[in-house]
Amino acid sequence: MEVPAQSTDIQAQFSSWKEEVDQVRSNLRTMRGRLQEIATSPQPDAERSLAIEHFQNQFIRQLEVADEMYHDLKQSAKHMGYGRPAIIHHDRPVDDMSSLQDRMQVFHKLHNELSGEFSRFASYD
């Protein structure tokens, strides 16, 4: 993925990324609803209960990461739009487009892995 150079291109990229984060959040809420249905099914065994707890924790954490990503994208877009340096978090860099691009790639990779794992789990219900 190439990082845009023009200011309007950069703003468009931020908008696109924020939409992608919103789609991930929506997908996580849908999966969480499906997990709730599975959890309320009659007497899941111990292994299934552990898997349900695993997915609950993963969904909570991915929603937290999505919220952080969305916030960082908004802050970076605002600061880059004003020509000021972006805020740098020690645990999640937002100082340049390249680091944000890398974070978005990892964000998508982790979400796709979790989504696939959950799909396989839910198909056994």
Residue 1 maps to a domain:
no
Residue 2 maps to a domain:
no
Owning domain of residue 97: 7-123
How much is the mean pLDDT over the chain?
85
79: pLDDT strictly greater than 60: yes
Total count of domains within the chain: 1
Q: Which residue has the tokens 């954490």?
A: 61
CA distance 9 to 25: 24
Residue 65 maps to a domain:
yes
Return the higher-pLDDT residue of 95 and 119.
119
Mean pLDDT of 66-79: 88
Task: Give the pLDDT confidence score for residue 64 in this predicted structure.
Answer: 97
Q: pLDDT for 18-62, tens place per residue?
A: 999 999 999 999 999 999 999 988 877 889 999 999 999 999 999
